[in-house]
Amino acid sequence: MEKIIQLFILIPLLGFIISLIIPSQNEKLISLTAFTSVGINFIGFVIFVIYWLFNGFPVLNLKEILIYKTTNYEFLLDFYFDKITVVYLFVGSFLTFLVTIYSRYYLHREHGYKRFFNTILFFYVGYSITVLSGNFETLFLGWEILGISSFLLISFYRERYLPVKNAIKVFSIYRIGDVGILLAMWMSHHLWHENITFLKLNNYELVHEHLQNHSWIGVFISLMILISAAAKSAQFPFSSWLPRAMEGPTPSSAIFYGSLSVHIGVFLLLRTFPFWEYQYSVRVIIGLLGLITAIMGSLTARVQSSVKSQVAYASLAQIGLIFIEVAAGFETLALIHFAGNAFLRTYQLLVSPSVVSYLIREQFYNLTPRVHSSKFALPKRLQYTIYMLSLKEWNLDWFVYQFIWMPIKLVGRKMKFLNFKAALVLFIIILIGAIAALQNESAIPDQVHRFLPELIGLFGLLLVAKSFAERQSVMVSWTLVLMNNIMIALAISFN
């Protein structure tokens, strides 16, 4: 039964690869590939779920492809299947399926028709990997694909200035999420001395035992997870990227930022829940973060005068509530809430152009003289202040600019000495050296061996910082992240 799981990644992957080689004039074949691969996946998945339910919905875990292995370390792709996976994969496949059919007509004759479907399928591959992932490494793989496809869809109209600028903005925030996960991974290796699977996290004794001795590491890991989740789900203080991501064609905005991509943070929390379940301080922090976002988000949504930003803020406010639900341990409620919110916002975004004729007609028949629409009888001064703050998105965009971009820019300027080429050369040297060293691990003197992981890890961090500071080319930035991942794997294998 476990073996079947990987099909739900292979089918979209196959679709994606086929879609790459179809000539771009052949609209019919491109969309056909897209919706058949997504459709088959969806139907196959539904059948599998029924079968799974009849078997008493067991939790499935599949250790799949071994990427790399030493005596004390193995790096492998691992898949996991439980209730959370089912809900996420169902919602994701269903919406992607509908949106591919929708886009088949909607994007007709659009420049970049093929690129659009390539990206949607790529996104879908990434989404499937993420929600089926059984360990951090696999999750990270999907996570990165989501980041890249997001970037590609926001900058879909790449000849215009704003889409590209916003795509880089969003990509950079996603980087924060990456760093969070990387650090969490890094520390969890320290904690477990292995590639911990999500399955093992369910083992209360195991987790409890490890955390008792390293409670600070535990808190650190949880906070890093939280930062990643908050960045990806546009929670406080990262909220302002979400409305700015609405630059691509409406259907892509609808499934990405209305529904799927933006709920991945919630998924991460649900997935790691057993890990921080007993860290009550963390749960309180998650709840508070959700609460702040919910309040700020819904106030900001109230003052938005453009349809898409209104939906975006309303959606992230609901995700704030979902964070609270997760923190409180109401997993099922959170899942229902996720599905409902995803469906609703997708639909609202897809029909957003209709809002003009609909609301104007409403207004034509029902316009009543304006009453003060703020429900709470606040003093005027306070009302105006809240209105103005909401209009300025609680200065969050400015905040991100001031406290994230500026420092990064500074770091970037400081790191000019290390250009990409140099980094690449250094990377290759270290890689070859390290692999050679691993072959003859016993020959390395102990004093050197002890520092190797830290050294390699440090270089990895340098790469991350560099990738962060890289504002010119997304490919370069992403290659740096990839190199960092390999460095981490290396460092771990010296542990």
Partner 1 sequence: MKNNQSNFNEHEVLHELKHFLPAQAPLKDFIHHNTLHSFQNLKFYDALHQAAKIFGFKTTLSLNDYRNLHKKGRIDTEVLERIIEAKKGKAELELWKNKLFKKQFDYQIDSRIGKLKANWKNNYKIDMDALVHPLLFRIVCSYLDQGIAIWNFPIEHKGFLSSIRELERMSYSSIFNSKRVKDLLLDNNCSIEHLLEILVGDETLYAQYLYDQQFAHQGWSGMVSFIEDNPNALLDTKKITLHDFIVFELLLEINALDSQYGNNWKPLKDNLKERPTPLFAPVENTELNEVIMLWQDVYEWTYYDQVLAGVQLGYDNKAPKKAKSFQALFCIDDRECSIRRYVEQNDINCETFGTPGFFGVEFFYQPKNGKFHTKLCPAPVTPKYLIKEINTRGNKEKDVHYSKKSHSLFQGWIISQTLGFSSAFKLAVNIFKPTMSPATTSSFKHMDKFSQLTIENKNINQREGDLQIGFTVDEMVVRVQNLLNSIGLIENFAPLVYLVGHGASSINNTHYAGYDCGACSGRPGSVNARVMSFMANHKKVREILANKGLVIPDTTQFVGALHDTTRDEMEFYDEDLLNETNKMLHEQNKKTFEKSLDENAKERSRRFILTNTKDSAKKVHEAVKLRSVSLFEPRPELNHATNALCIIGQRDLTKYLFLDRRSFLNSYDYKIDLDGTFLTNILKPIGPVCGGINLEYYFSRVDNQKLGAGTKLPHNVMGLIGVANGIDGDLRPGLPSQMIEVHDPIRMLVIVEHYPEIVLKAISQAPETYEWYNNEWMHLVSVNPVTRKLQVFENGQFVPYNPLITKLELAPNLNHLVESTEENFPVFLFNN
| Residues in 256-285 that interact with partner 1 by CB under 8 A | none
Report d(CA 269, CA 293) in Å as an integer: 16
Q: How many residues does the chain have?
A: 495
Q: Which is nearer to partner 1, 280 or 358 (CB)?
A: 358
Minimum Å gap between C-beta 289 and partner 1 is 15
Residues numbered 27 to 46 that lie near partner 1 (CB under 8 A) are none
Q: How many residues bind partner 1 (CB under 8 A)?
A: 95
- Cβ 92 to partner 1 shortest distance, Å: 12
Q: How far is the CB of 342 from partner 1 (least distance, A)?
A: 7
CB of residue 301 vs partner 1: minimum separation in angstroms? 5
Q: How far is the CB of 296 from partner 1 (least distance, A)?
A: 10
Smallest gap from residue 298 Cβ to partner 1 (A)? 4
Provide, rounded to whole angstroms, the least separation between the CB of residue 288 and partner 1: 16
Q: How far is the CB of 96 from partner 1 (least distance, A)?
A: 12
Could you please report the per-residue DSSP string of 387-441? HHHHHTGGGHHHHHIIIIIHHHHHHHHHGGGS-HHHHHHHHHHHHHHHHHHHHTG
In the bound state with partner 1, the residue whose beta carbon lies nearer, of 41 and 310, is 310
Write each residue from 150 to 189 as x if it is in contact with partner 1 (CB under 8 A), else as -, in one continuous string. ------xx--x-xx-xx-----------------------
Place of tokens 């099922």: 332
Site for partner 1 in 210-249 (CB under 8 A): 243-244, 246-249
Residue with smaller CB distance to partner 1, 192 or 330: 330
* Token pair listed for 204: 């209360």
Amino acid (1-letter code) at residue 111? H
Q: Does 421 bind partner 1 (CB under 8 A)?
A: no
Rounded Cα distance, 392 and 438, in Å: 54
CB of 1 to partner 1, least distance (A): 28
Question: Distance between CA 439 and CA 422 in Å, rounded?
Answer: 26
Query: In terms of CB distance, is 449 or 471 closer to partner 1?
Result: 471
CB-facing half-sphere around the CA of 368: CA atoms within 13 A: 3
Kindly report each contact of residues 192-196 with a partner whose C-beta sits within 8 Å and lies 24 or more positions away, as own/partner. Answer: 193/72, 193/495, 194/73, 194/74, 195/73, 195/74, 195/75, 195/76, 195/78, 195/135, 195/136, 195/137, 196/135, 196/136
- Nearest CB to partner 1, comparing residues 309 and 467: 309
Tokens for 13, please give them: 């992957």
Q: How far is CA 463 from the centre of its chain?
A: 21
Residue whose CB is less far from partner 1, 104 or 189:
104
Closer residue to partner 1 (CB): 106 or 192: 106
The nearest distance, CB 170 to partner 1, in angstroms, is 12
The CA–CA distances, whole Å, from 454 to 311, 437, 457 equal 45, 15, 5
Q: Return the residue of 303, 415, 424, 431 that touches partner 1, per CB under 8 A.
A: 303
Span 330-369, contacts to partner 1 by CB under 8 A = 336-337, 339-348, 350-367
H helix or E strand, kind and range, residue 95:
helix 83-106
Closest CB 402 distance from partner 1, rounded Å: 11
Among 4, 49, 295, 404, binds partner 1 (CB under 8 A): 295
Cα→Cα distances 123→64, 116, 143, 347, 371, Å: 21, 10, 10, 19, 45
Q: In 3D, which of 383, 492, 360, 490 has the Cα closest to residue 427?
A: 490
Q: Which is nearer to partner 1, 387 or 420 (CB)?
A: 387
Angle, CA of 190, 193 and 199, to the nearest 5°? 110
- Phi, psi at 67, each rounded to 5°: -85, -40
| Site map (CB under 8 A) of partner 1, residues 305-324, x = contact | xxxxxxx-xx--xx--x---
Binding to partner 1 (CB under 8 A) within 367-406 occurs at 367, 370, 372-374, 380-385, 387-392
DSSP string, 22-65: S-TT-HHHHHHHHHHHHHHHHHHHHHHHHHHHHTT---EEEEEE
Rank residues 60 and 334 by Cβ distance to partner 1 and give the closer one: 334
Fill in the per-residue mask, 109 to 128: x = in contact with partner 1 (CB under 8 A), - = not in contact: xxx-----------------
Site string for partner 1, 81-110 (x = CB under 8 A): -------------xx--x--xxxxxxxxxx
Q: Quick one: 71 exposed, middle or buried, by C-beta within 10 A (0-12, 13-18, 19+)?
A: exposed
Minimal CA–CA distance to 210: which of 274, 292, 296?
274
